[in-house]
A and B are shown apart, each in its own frame.
Chain A
Amino acid sequence: MTASTLNPSLNPTLNPLLWMIPILPLAGAAINGFFGRKSSKKAISTVALVFSGAAFGIVLWIAAGFSSALAPYSDPVAHWIRSGSFSVDFEFYLDQLSLVMLLVVTGVGFLIHIYSVGYMWDDDGYYRFMAYMNLFMFFMLTLVLAKNYLVMFIGWEGVGLASYLLIGFWFTKDSAASAGKKAFIVNRIGDFGFLIALFLMIKHFGSLDFTRVFAAVQPLSSETAGAGLLTAIGLLLMLGAAGKSAQIPLYVWLPDAMEGPTPVSALIHAATMVTAGVYMVARSHMIFERAPMAMTVVAITGTLTALFAATIGIVQTDIKKVLAYSTVSQLGYMFMACGVGAFSAGIFHLMTHAFFKGLLFLAAGSVIHGVGGEQDMRKMGGLRVYMPWTFMTMGIATLAIAGIPPLAGFWSKDEILWQAYNASWVYWLIGVITAFITSFYMFRLMYMTFGGEYRGGAVQKEAAHGHDAHAHDDHAHGHGEPHESPWVMLGPLVILAVLSLIGGFVGYGNRFEHFLAPVFQQGADVIAQETSSAAEKSTEYLLMAVSVSLAALGWLLAYLLYSLRPQLPARIAASLGRLYQAVANKYYIDELYNVLFVKPLLDGSTTILWHGIDQGAIDAAVNDSADAARHVSDNLRHMQSGNLRSYAGWVAAGGAVVIAYMVWMGVR
């Protein structure tokens, strides 16, 4: 990654294209945002799809002409900040890592745009929704294409903004509005860490450019002895990543973010934005590799988050909440991979996760659409009869996330577990336990939603008008019978299902790792691994067998509990008592944060800042001086009596005072 390989002339065909990738969705957002209110829905859909699809087309074209020999490639667009030796430019950067991210973001993003046309068609804010979605694409593409941390930060903040706008899309609903705020504020904490890390880089490396920062970092030795600059930067970057990618302790916003429309959950809160943290950590691998303590923190955070969120996922009854905790858990896997140094495994899982989790959310949206806005799984059931396509595609995604071979999730998850095992068996153990839980709650979701008999029925009909219209996704048709979604929604499901089926094969024989190797400079490691001893190979296969059988066990358990003996779970829950209550209430983490942070802040702001300083000091100073002025004037105004002779009296008195003064001065 030296300067000479960044010569733009190496690949002139890319030249006019790279900057167009983010600009196209921005243009779409601008057109729909400014003119959408008056346009027809057909025109809005055309604009949104053409611009996001064109971006995807360009990415495909670039990918087709992509050659590892020519990468990395950079595209300077414009100067931005020039201050002495420090400079930050709008510059885009294409290497294997950003290419993978581009494909995921534009590909999955485009499919979800198509799906949204069907899902959001009846919504009054249709043009607003499409504009926000395109705006999100713009920022996300800026994030992954950035060549320096500051442009990345623009994208980083921008996706946060788009996320906020889309979570609070139905802003008349109080819970949606506050969920949006929560996401924004929690992300702010992470952004604080990210920013401090950037300041440290400017101070010590004098640049934010990836190439230059990494060139400055490369000669530094690993900070094994103690925590130093790189550890500090690493930890602060991780704080930023934890905010964006919903890791402990900042994961709390993601489950609440399910208040947004379902395509948003699929695009932003499953497939793309939440993986930005993983991408950022992987991009900064040069720093992390030299800060073992930061790496350990990343790995432990990821591992704990994976387990923690998975356990909460077991007891959720809202179909989207299950998927939300599942997303948090899967992101934990990715951080676990990054933490043990297996960055390409993390990115691999990021990609497969985008396929199957995007699919799961879209299918869940299709289910919600089909049953008239209901999200409670206890009121579903038996939907496989009514919605065969949704059932099939969601089943494939479930198999994929559970890690059943040969679907996508199996390849990436197993890669992570194997790499984690190489680092420490503890990571691996927690990882496979999480895999078991994942399989269990996903099949629980499947059985509750699609298995058995339909439990909505008459209740649904009666409740459809009053309760659904605002309580859930606004798709209350007031129908009793669940129905299959239109093809504009099923199409993306099918495509994603195919990707979830076969997407894992790009990792066959470590091909994915080889592809990313130039970025992570682990070529030697990968090759060393392939020539590893037969004993190690057999260990790998053994671990694989363990995780697959655990996944199968999870499936079996879910089948037993939710298909064969549906009355059993309630009894188990009752027998667990307090433990069940704790898990069902998400370990009271929200309540804990309320007591620890929100309430003290609120109370402090109210009593000290508001009542004390603002009202007591600032307002009081202004009000008191105004009062004083009024009192004085009130008394002085009696001088203005309108009586001419009293004025003459004042003149005489004034003259007397002046004379007295002069006499007195003269005497002295």
Chain B
Amino acid sequence: MVPLSYYLVLSGILFGCGVLGFLIKRNIITIFMSIELMLNGVNLSFVAFAAQWHALSGQVFVFFVMVVAAAETAVGLAIIIAVYRTRETLNVDRVNLLKL
């Protein structure tokens, strides 16, 4: 059996990549993907713990996160398209004003 620490280290690496991408990247799509990466990093640690301790709640929680993430993706992408239509850019540094 793969030890728990492996999962956790992978989870940490995924989460770290997500954070790094979120901080460094300017393209709004990439940032969005980084967020998904962080969520899935966390999901991985949830299921790893759930398997380790034979507790179902961790797995259930992951489903909830996935559902929310799916909803968020839908809304988020819609917003991104709307932003692109008005600003004609995907650079987050250019969309720091609420007013046009």
Query: Which residues of chain A have a CB within 8 Å of any CB of chain B?
Result: 642-645, 648-649, 652
CB distance from B27 to the nearest CB of A (A): 12
Quick check: B19 and A652 within 8 Å, CB to CB?
A: yes
CB of B23 closer than 8 Å to a CB of A: yes
Quick check: B96 and A645 within 8 Å, CB to CB?
A: no
- Look across to chain A and name the residue whose beta carbon is closest to the beta carbon of B93: A643
CB distance from B23 to the nearest CB of A (A): 5
**Assembled-state Cα–Cα distance A543/B26 (Å):** 118
Quick check: B92 and A644 within 8 Å, CB to CB?
A: yes
CB distance from A138 to the nearest CB of B (A): 74
Contacts of A649 on B, CB cut-off 8 Å? 23
Quick check: A645 and B19 within 8 Å, CB to CB?
A: no
Quick check: A648 and B22 within 8 Å, CB to CB?
A: yes
Quick check: A644 and B96 within 8 Å, CB to CB?
A: yes
**Assembled-state Cα–Cα distance A136/B9 (Å):** 94
Contacts of A648 on B, CB cut-off 8 Å? 22-23
**Assembled-state Cα–Cα distance A300/B19 (Å):** 96
Contacts of B19 on A, CB cut-off 8 Å? 652
Beyond A643-B96, A644-B92, A652-B19: 8 further Cβ-contacts under 8 Å?
A: A642-B96, A643-B93, A644-B96, A645-B23, A645-B92, A648-B22, A649-B23, A652-B23
Decide if the interface of chain A is mainly helix, strand, loop or mixed: helix
Using a CB-CB cutoff of 8 Å, which residues 1-47 of chain B contact chain A?
A: 19, 22-23
**Assembled-state Cα–Cα distance A343/B78 (Å):** 110
Contacts of B22 on A, CB cut-off 8 Å? 645, 648
- Look across to chain B and name the residue whose beta carbon is closest to the beta carbon of A645: B23
Contacts of A643 on B, CB cut-off 8 Å? 93, 96
Q: Which of A642, A644, A652 has the most CB of B within 10 A?
A: A652
**Mind listing 13 A-B residue pairs with CB under 8 Å?**
A642-B96, A643-B93, A643-B96, A644-B92, A644-B96, A645-B22, A645-B23, A645-B92, A648-B22, A648-B23, A649-B23, A652-B19, A652-B23
Contacts of A642 on B, CB cut-off 8 Å? 96
**Assembled-state Cα–Cα distance A643/B94 (Å):** 11
**Assembled-state Cα–Cα distance A440/B49 (Å):** 118
**Assembled-state Cα–Cα distance A450/B19 (Å):** 107
**Assembled-state Cα–Cα distance A642/B19 (Å):** 19
Contacts of B96 on A, CB cut-off 8 Å? 642-644
- Look across to chain B and name the residue whose beta carbon is closest to the beta carbon of A656: B19
Q: Which of A642, A644, A645 has the most CB of B within 10 A?
A: A645
**Assembled-state Cα–Cα distance A643/B95 (Å):** 11
CB-CB nearest 7 A-B residue pairs = A649-B23, A652-B19, A645-B23, A648-B22, A648-B23, A645-B22, A652-B23
**Assembled-state Cα–Cα distance A649/B23 (Å):** 6
CB distance from A501 to the nearest CB of B (A): 101
**Assembled-state Cα–Cα distance A272/B23 (Å):** 90
**Assembled-state Cα–Cα distance A214/B92 (Å):** 96
Q: Interface digits, B63-100 against A, CB 8 Å rule (1 contact, 0 not)?
A: 00000000000000000000000000000110010000
**Assembled-state Cα–Cα distance A642/B97 (Å):** 11
CB distance from A642 to the nearest CB of B (A): 7
CB distance from A537 to the nearest CB of B (A): 116
- Look across to chain B and name the residue whose beta carbon is closest to the beta carbon of A649: B23
Contacts of B23 on A, CB cut-off 8 Å? 645, 648-649, 652
**Assembled-state Cα–Cα distance A643/B22 (Å):** 13
**Assembled-state Cα–Cα distance A644/B26 (Å):** 11
**Assembled-state Cα–Cα distance A643/B19 (Å):** 16
